C-alpha cells in the first residue's frame, strides 16, 4: 500500500493526499522512523494531525519497547531464580 502512495508522489498525481496517505501507511506498517524522516524532509505539506500521529507513534513505540524490555528482564531474573512474582 505504501508503494502505491509513493508512486503517486513520484508521478506527482493526487499530491494533496498522496503524501499524507504515504505517511499513514508507513505508520500502519510500523515504519515510524521512515515516517518521521519523510515528514521532516518532504517538500510536500503534511497535515498537522498526521504530524502529531507520527510524533505520538514514536512515543508509543519507545514506551512499548521499554515495557517489553522490562518484561524480558523479569523473565530472565525468574529463570535464574533471583526473583519471583
pLDDT at 2: 58
Report domain extents, the chain.
2-79
Give which of 37, 39, 32 is closest to 61, Cα–Cα.
Answer: 32
The tens-digit pLDDT sequence of the chain (85 residues) is 555 556 655 666 666 678 888 898 888 888 888 999 999 998 888 999 999 988 888 777 777 778 888 888 888 888 888 655 5
State the virtual CA torsion across 68, 51, 42, 12 in degrees, nearest 10.
110
Amino acid at each position: 500500500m505504501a508503494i502505491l502512495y509513493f508512486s503517486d508522489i513520484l508521478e506527482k498525481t493526487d499530491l494533496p493526499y498522496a503524501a499524507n496517505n504515504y505517511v499513514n501507511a508507513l505508520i500502519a506498517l510500523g515504519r515510524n522512523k521512515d515516517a518521521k524522516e519523510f515528514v521532516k524532509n518532504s517538500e510536500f505539506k503534511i497535515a498537522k494531525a498526521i504530524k502529531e500521529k507520527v510524533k505520538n507513534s514514536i512515543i508509543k513505540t519507545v514506551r512499548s519497547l521499554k515495557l517489553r524490555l522490562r518484561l524480558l528482564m523479569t523473565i530472565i531474573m525468574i529463570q535464574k531464580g533471583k526473583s519471583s512474582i
